Structure 1
Amino acid sequence: MKIDNLTPAIGSEIHGINLADADQVNSCADDLRAVLAERQVIFFRDQELTPEAQVRFAKIFGRVEAVSSTFPAHPENPYVELLVSQGTRTGTDIWHADLTWQESPPAGACLYAVDVPETGGDTMWASMTSAFESLAPNMQMYLRDLRAVHNWEAPALTDNLRKRDATGGLYKAAREKYAPLEQPVVLDHPVTGKPVAFVNSLYTTHIRDVTNDESRALISFLSGLAKVPEWQVRFRWRKGSVAVWDNLATQHYAVNDYHPEPRRMHRVAIR
C-alpha cells in the first residue's frame, strides 16, 4: 500500500489496494483508519464496487445506517445514497459538512464515482482542525463556550424533496422528524481529540446567546475559514474513484461546473 500526501494539511491518495477484495481490505483496515484520522480525506483510483462491496468497505471505518438525508436510496441497497445531477441546483456547491442538523451527524462518508463528466465536477475538502488552529488563542477560548443552531431546510434540499414528492409528504415528514437542534461551535473530535470549527454556511442558522449581528458575523467568519486555500485539497474524479472523508473534521464543496453532463455518485454515511 503506497500513500501520497496531496497537500501538507489534508488529503492522501492511496495506491495498491483493491477495495472489492474483502480480505485485502481487512488486512489493511487499521492502517486505513489511521491514515484517515491523520489526513482527514483519502482517495483511491480505478475501483469497481457494487453497492454491497462499497458498504462492506465503508464498515471498516464505522457503523453504517440506512439513508436518512434528502437524497434517494439505491433501489438495491438501503445503505447507499444516490447523488445524481447534471450540474443544476445540487445544493452541495457550498461549503458544508453532511447532516450536521442531526443529533449525531455522520462521522464520515464513502463516495464512489459511477459516472462522471469528462471535465469538471471536482470536489474540494477543507480541514476545519487546521482552520481552528489558525485562530488566536483568545478567539479559540471565546468560541469554546458557544453553541449554534443547525437546520436542514436549506432551499436546494427542500426543493429536492418537493421534486421527489409533489404532494409535500416527504417534506412534511422531514420537518416533523428533524427539528432544529444545537451543536457546539467548537467540536472536540471523538477520535483525535483535536478541536474543530463546527460551523458551516449551509446548515448553521444562528449562534446562541449573542446578538443577531454578532451571530451573523461569527457564522460568516467561521464558515469562511473553509475557503482558505492552505486548508484545502481538490480532487478530480474519474470513473471508479473513491473518496472517504472525516465528516466531523472537514467541510466539502462539490464544484458545479459540468452542466449538462451527467454525474452519478454512490455515497455511504459512516456513523
Structure 2
Amino acid sequence: MHVEHITPCIGSEITGIDLSDQAQVKAQAENLRTLLAERQVIFFRDQELSPAAQVRLAQVFGRVDPVSSTFPAHPEEPHVELLISQGTRTGTDIWHADLTWQKSPPAGACLYALDVPDTGGDTMWASMTAAYASLNEDMQAYLRKLSALHNWEAPALRANLARRDPTGELYRSTRQKYVPIEQPVVLDHPVTGKPVVFVNSLYTTHIQGVTNDESVALISLLSGLAKVPEWQVRFRWRKGSVAVWDNLATQHYAINDYHPAARRMHRVAIRRE
C-alpha cells in the first residue's frame, strides 16, 4: 500500500490495495484508520465495489446504520444512500458537514463513484481543525463557550423530499422526527482530541445566547473559514473512485458544474462505535 499526500494540510491518495478484497482491507485496517484520523480524507482509484462490499469497507472505520438522510436508500442495501444528479438542485453545492442536525452526526462517510461526467463534478474538502487553529486564543476561548442550533430544512433538501413524495407525508414525518438541535460551536474531536469549528452555512441557523446580528456575523465568519484554499483539497472523480472522509473534522462542497451530464454515487454514513 502506497500513500501520497495531495496537500500538506489535508487529503491523501492510497494505491496498491483492492478494497473489495476483505483480507487486504483487514490487514491494512489499522493503517487506514490512522491515515483517516491524520489526513481527514483519503482517496482510492479504480475500485469495483458492490453495495455490500462498500458497507464492509465503511465498517473498518466505525458502525454503519441504515440510511437516515434525505436521500433515498439502495433498494437492495438499506445502509447505502443513492446520490444521483444531473448537476441541478443538489443542495450540496455549499460548504457543509453531513447531517449535523442529528443528535450524533456521522463520524465519517464513504462515497463510491459509479458513473461520473467526463469533466466537472469535483468535490472539495476543508479542514476545520486548521480553521480553528487559525483563530487567536481569545476568539478560541470565546467560541468554546457557545452552542448553535442546527436544522435540516435547507430549501434544496425540502425540495428533494417533495420530489420523492409529492404528498408531503415524507416531509412532515422527517420534520417531526428531526427537530432543530443544539451543537457545540467548537467540537473536541473524539479520536484526535483536536478542536474543530463545528459551524456550517447549510445547517447552522443560530448561535445561542447572542443577538440575531451577532449570530449572523459569527456564522458567516466561522462557516467562511472553509473557503481558505490552504486548508482545502480538491478531488477529480473517475468511475471507480472512492473517498472516505472524517465528517466531524471537515466540511465538503460538491461542485455543481456538470449539467446536463449525470453523476451516480453510492454513499455510506459511518457512525462512532
TM-score (norm 1): 1.00
Q: Which amino acid in the other structure matches residue 123 of structure 2?
A: T
Letter in 2 for 1:240: G
Give every structure 1 segment of 4 or more consecutive aligned residues whose post-TM-superposition deviation is greater than 2 Å: none
> Partners of 1:209 and 1:80 in 2: how far apart?
38
Matched, 1:153 2:153: yes
Post-superposition Cα deviations, 1:151-178, rounded to whole Å, max 9, x if no partner, equal 0000000000011000001000000100
Structure 1 position 165 matched with structure 2 position 165: yes
Q: Shift of residue 200 of structure 1?
A: 0.1
Counterpart Cα distance in 2 of 1:23 and 1:2? 17
Structure 1: tracts of 5 or more residues without a match? none
Aligned to 2:22: 22
Amino acid at match of 1:232: Q
Distance 2:200 2:120 in 1: 24
Please name the residue that 1:62 is paired with: 62
5 Å-filtered alignment, 1:1-271, equals 1-271=1-271
Q: Deviations over 1:161-201 (max 9, x none)?
A: 01100000100000010000100000000000000000000
Deviations 1:37-74 (A, max 9, x none): 00000000000000000000110000000000000000
Deviations 1:201-221, CA, capped at 9 Å, x for gaps: 000000000011100000000
Which letter maps to 1:86? Q
TM-fit CA distance, 1:262: 0.2
In structure 2, what is the Cα distance between the partners aligned to 1:8 and 1:139? 25
Q: Percent identity?
A: 77
> In 2, distance between residues paired with 1:107 and 1:57?
15
Residue 137 of structure 1 and its aligned partner are, at CA, apart by: 0.6
State the shift of 1:18 in Å.
0.2
Q: Measure, in 1, the Cα distance between the counterparts of 2:230 and 2:135.
A: 14
Task: Tell me the distance in 2 between the aligned counterparts of 1:169 and 1:26.
Answer: 42
How many Å separate the matches in 1 of 2:106 and 2:24? 25
Give, in whole Å, the separation in 1 of the partners of 2:69 and 2:197.
23
Alpha-carbon distance in 2 for matches of 1:175, 1:257: 30
Matched AA of 1:122: D
Deviation at 1:259, TM superposition (A): 0.0
SS across alignment from 1:132: helix
- Deviation of 1:19 (Å): 0.1
2 CA distance for matches of 1:56 and 1:36?
16
Q: Distance in 2 between matches of 1:115 and 1:76?
A: 19
TM-score by length of 2: 0.99
